[in-house]
Amino acid sequence: MHNIPGNISALCAAALLAASCLSSTKSEGGQEVIGFAPVLGTEVRSGDVSPFPEDMDFGVWAVTEDGDIYMDCSRVAYDGTGWYPEQPVAWPDGTLRFIAAAPYREDMVLEDDLSLSLGEYDLSREDGGLYVTDLTSGYGSSDRTVPLSFGRAVSMLDFRVANGLNTATSVRLEKIILKGVYLKGSFLSSSMPEWTVAGDKTDLTVYDSAVDGGNTDVTRSPQAFGKTISIIPQKSGPVVEVVYSFQTADSSWLTGQSETTSELKAEWEPGRYYTYTLTLTENIVKHTSGISTAD
């Protein structure tokens, strides 16, 4: 995809391979209907791709050679044999160009320039996943199956924590809170993906020991806490608050302690995967970050 950073050649090659391996076809009223072969960027930093999740429907738009809309947000689902629109669509004469978004949502719109737009995306009400394709080249009835290469449109974050206090101090992590981020925005998948944030900055708890695994000792070497989260691409300048318990040889566990990082100089981009390593010290949580290529 030209508009989502990442291993594009791998995505396209995998989609074409999936299409060539898909042997099933479907007919409706004596006419062969359009089928799809989607692939999805994995959540592994290698840039590998994976089969598209069979429980995730997606929306497809198709445009004729004359620029007419032939499919308008048609819902595509896996039917046990392949990926087909829930309302079968027969191949027309001539060729079609396709663009798609996942998961399926009725409020995604095809613009006049054949990009996709989403007027309101609220991460607090979403599962975090949003994937789009570029507009394909032309496909016709002889192709039978259309390969679709989906790339991630949001950013991904995960966190690792290390104990940087003196060697006589034990630490247990209670919470990681990302403070001062936007959770709402609008999206446009033009030549470069564009996000426009909306609403007020808010706080997002990314790890809570009461929910995510109980009291875990923080070791000297960084270890992962919580799951990888999705975030709207933005320049938010957040900080991270770490809430923890500690114990020395002379004390019982002291709970509810907190330290905060300096401002993250973050510019989260679509399709990128960011890892933050947080090291607990006496006055501030030191942080370092790593940035991968897109999934």
Which tens digit of pLDDT belongs to each residue from 224-260? 998 889 999 999 889 999 999 999 988 899 999 999 9
- Nearest Cα neighbor of 232 from 199, 276, 192, 186 is 186
pLDDT confidence band for 46 (50 / 70 / 90)? very low
DSSP codes joined into one string, 12-29: HHHHHHHHHH-----EET
- Nearest Cα neighbor of 176 from 130, 220, 129, 223 is 223
pTM of the model: 0.82
pLDDT digit string, tens, across residues 201-221: 999 999 999 988 776 899 999
C-alpha 79/C-alpha 155 separation (Å) is 30
What's residue 48's pLDDT? 59
Q: In the chain, pLDDT over 90 holds for what percent of residues?
A: 66
CA dihedral 290, 42, 214, 181 (to 10 degrees): 50
Strands 155-163 and 223-231: antiparallel
When pLDDT is averaged across residues 13-26 and rounded to a whole number, the result is: 50
Task: Check if the beta carbon of residue 146 is closer than 8 Å to that of residue 85.
Answer: no
C-alpha 265/C-alpha 279 separation (Å) is 17
What's residue 44's pLDDT? 38
Question: Which single residue is written with the structure tokens 């392949």?
Answer: 82
What's residue 26's pLDDT? 65
- Nearest Cα neighbor of 238 from 258, 260, 222, 259 is 260
Strands 170-181 and 58-64: unpaired
pLDDT confidence band for 109 (50 / 70 / 90)? very high
C-alpha 274/C-alpha 93 separation (Å) is 46
- Which tokens hold the place of 118? 């989403």
- Which tokens hold the place of 193? 């993906």
For residue 230, the cross-strand partners are 156
C-alpha 228/C-alpha 207 separation (Å) is 10
Q: Which amino acid is at 249?
A: A
- Nearest Cα neighbor of 133 from 99, 102, 161, 172 is 99
When pLDDT is averaged across residues 99-103 and rounded to a whole number, the result is: 96
- Which tokens hold the place of 47? 């840039």
